Every structure is written in C-alpha cells, then in structure tokens.
Amino acid sequence: MKKETEFQQVFETRNSYANRQFVIYVLEKPEQPHFRVGISVGKKIGNAVARNWVKRRVRQSITELKPQLKQDADFLVIARPTVAGKSQAETKAYLSHALKLAHLLDND
C-alpha cells in the first residue's frame, strides 16, 4: 500500500494487535487475491537512515514470511522505538510474533 487513503482505511478499522516492537492493523478483504502491506516507522526511531534501516529489515522479514502469510487482508506494520538497532533475526522474530497475534501468520 502506498496511498494515504489506503493507510487510513486500514487504520480506521481499529482492528489492532501489538507486542513491544510492532503494532499491526488489519483489514480483512475476502475478495482480494493477495495481501497488501504498509510499513510505518515514526521519527521516534531516529534519523532517516535509522528509519530506512528498520523499514528494510521489516520488508525483508515480510518477504521471508510471505508463503505463511494470510493472503486476503491488508495490514499496516507500525514499528515502535524498541525495534531500532535490532538484528534481522530479532526483527523477524518480533514481527512474526506480532503477525501470529493478528492471526495473519499460519502456525507451522
């Protein structure tokens, strides 16, 4: 998702799940053939370099988890400041935990 209206549509559902590192907002779309994701990293994370670093790690984690993700939903991933400075493996573990809480990740 790239447009602000799409972000707002998911955000306004108020269907959220969270852990200490991420907040996930979910909008179910049964007619949709594949999931769409939006990533938001606020200024509390740090400067632009730090925020982009976190976004890259989140994107990579989602790519690795793609086969296990529920396909008929839009979701927002909002990073909390505690995720800054974490390794790729830690980021993926925290994100997969949040996605499981949101019932977007199949339990394997």
pLDDT tens figures, 30-67: 888 889 999 999 999 999 999 999 999 999 999 999 99
Tell me if the domain spanning 4-102 has CATH number 3.30.230.10.
yes
pLDDT of residue 62: 95
pLDDT of residue 107: 65
Q: Quote the percentage of the chain above a pLDDT of 90.
A: 67
* Domains in the chain: boundaries: 4-102
Cβ neighbour number for residue 100 with a 10 Å cutoff: 16
* Cβ atoms 48, 38 nearer than 8 A: no
d(CA 65, CA 3): 24
d(CA 31, CA 54): 31
Rounded to two decimals, the pTM is 0.87
